[in-house]
Structure 1
C-alpha cells in the first residue's frame, strides 16, 4: 500500500507523516520491471518488498533467511491507515501496538532494535533524548554539535556500527547511548532489558532472532488467494483507481 503514488484528490500512504522520509522507491520499480519482463503478473509488489528487505539485511551483515512468498497487493492505500510507533513511544504502548498485529514482547524488542541498527533519523525527532541528562556525556555532546547544523540534519541511529546489521545498538543502549527514546527505554525497562542484554552478549543470537522476527512479521495479515491483485506497476492499481 505504501508504494501507491497519490493523485489529486486521492492521497495515499505516501502522504502519511511517518512515511515522509521513506525513499528508494525507484529500486523497487527497477526490480518489478525486470520481474514483469521475465514472469509477468507473478510476483507481487508485497513480495518484492519482502524479498528486497531480506537481501538488504543480508548485504548489511545480517543472516540470510528463507522468505515465504505468495502475498497479493492491496487495493487500498489510505494515509489514515498508517499507525506506526513513533520514536518516543513508551514501552507499554509499543508492546500493545505489536500485540495488536500478533507479535509478542520478544518480537517487538527484536524488530525495534533490529530495525534501528542501520539508518538515520532527523535531529528534530530526538530533541527529547538530547535534553536527557542520563544520556552518555560524549554522545550527548556529539549530537548537540551535529544537530546545530541548519536544515534539520540526520544522525545515525546506531553510533557504533551504523552500516551493519548486528548487536551494536544493544551494546550502545546498555551504555546509555541510545539515540532514540524507545531504544533506550528498552534497555531500561524491566520487561525488556533482559532481552537486550542477551543480544548484547551474543551477536549470532541477535542475527538469528531478527531474521525469525522479520519472517513472522511478514506473514501477519497478508492477502493471498484471490484477494487483492498482483500489480504490473507498484505505483498504481491495475485498474488505475
Structure 2
C-alpha cells in the first residue's frame, strides 16, 4: 500500500482534530439558556430538598452518576427500568444498592412542566452530581450540557464496573479503557469521601484474608478490630451493618486521602491506590492540599461527563422508560 503524501497526511490529521473538537463542542454550558433557563435552579432545589429529608442522597446520586458513565457513557442508561424481556443496569448486582432514583424522577417531572421534552435525563443526572458535591461542601463548576439519553440498558454490562475488591492493575485498565488516566483514577476515588458501605464490600479484609494473615495487614489494627465488631459473622450481623467511607462522610473534603495514609480505607481498591508508587504521590498531595484535590476533581468530573456522549439519542419524557 503506497504511503500518503505528507500534504494528505497533514490534511487527514487536521480533519481528525477538527472532528474531535466538534465532538467536544456539542456540549455547552449554555445549551439550555434559551430553551429552559430555570433548569439549574429546579434541579438544585430538588436535590437540596431531597438531601434535607435523607442525608444519604448526595452519596447515592454521585455514585449513580459514576455507575452510569462507566457503562455506556453518560447516557442515563442506569435510570431505565427493567422490562419483561430485558434486565436493566439498575438491577445488575453492583447496582442493587444504588438508590434515590426518585430524586431524578422528581427533577424530571418538574422540568417537563417547565419546558416539556427539552432536558435530557443524562443532563439532569450530570447536573445533580455536581450539585450534591457542592451542597456537601465541595467545589462547584459549570456543567457542560447537551447530552442525549440512551435506549439500551443491560444488567450484564455492570460486570465491567470497577469492584471494591479490584487491585491497581485492574483499576488502571478499567479507567484507561474509558479514556481516564491514573490521576483521574485517584481523583474520582475521592468520591468515597461521601457515603456508607455495607460489610459485604470489605469483609474479605477482616477474616481469612490470606494464608499468612487473618486480617489485611494494610489495615490499621485498631480500625480493623472496630470493623470486625460492626461486621460480625452471619447470622449475627444486622441487615444494614457497615461503616462510613470516611470520618466526615456527609462532607465533601480530603479526609478520605488522609485516612488512606493512616491505613483506614475501607476497600481493597482504596488500599490499592495508596500502596503503589504510581498513585501514592497523588494521594499524599491531595491529603496535604484540599484545594488541589478540588481543582483536579472538577477536571476529572468534566472528563468523566464527556464519556460516550450520544449524538443521536433521545430526550426521554420519563427517565425510567424509552420514548
Q: TM-score, normalised by structure 1?
A: 0.94
Aligned: 1:197 with 2:284 = yes
Write out per-residue CA displacement over residues 161-203 of structure 1, whole angstroms, 9 at most, x where no aligned residue. 1111111010000011111111112111111000000000100
* Aligned counterpart, 1:186: 273
Distance 1:157 1:201 in 2: 19
Distance in 2 between residues matched to 1:161 and 1:137, nearest whole Å: 21
- Equivalent in 202, 222, 228 of residue 138 of structure 1: 222
Q: Distance in 1 between matches of 2:143 and 2:117?
A: 19
Q: Secondary structure at the match of 1:140?
A: helix
Look up the SS of the partner of 2:243 in the other structure: strand
Count how many residue pairs are aligned between Structure 1 and Structure 2: 234
Contact 1:124 1:152 in 2 (8 A): no
- 1:110-125 equivalence runs, <5 A: 110-112=187-189, 114-125=190-201
Q: Of 91, 97, 117, which residue of structure 1 is paired with 2:174?
A: 97
The runs of 5 or more residues in structure 2 that have no matched partner are 1-76, 207-214
How far did 1:88 drift? 1.0
Q: State the structure with more CA Rg.
A: 2
The alignment partner of 2:300 has SS state of: helix
CA distance in 2, matches of 1:37, 1:4: 21
CA distance in 2, matches of 1:24, 1:154: 19
In 1, the alpha carbon distance for the partners of 2:309 and 2:271 equals 31
Aligned-partner Cα distance in 2 for 1:201–1:128: 30
State the shift of 1:79 in Å.
1.2
C-alpha RMSD over aligned residues: 1.1
SS in 2 for 1:235: coil
Structure 1 residue runs of 4+, over 3 Å off?
Answer: none
Higher relative contact order, structure no. (Cα contacts within 8 Å, ≥ 6 residues apart): 1
Question: Where does 1:24-63 land on structure 2 (aligned, <5 Å)?
Answer: 24-63=100-139
* Structure with greater proportional helix content: 2
Which SS does the other structure have where 1:234 is aligned?
Answer: coil
Q: Any idea what the Cα deviations from partners look like across 1:72-115, whole Å, max 9, x if unmatched?
A: 00011111222110001110111111111111110111112x22
> What residue is the counterpart of 2:319 in the other structure?
234
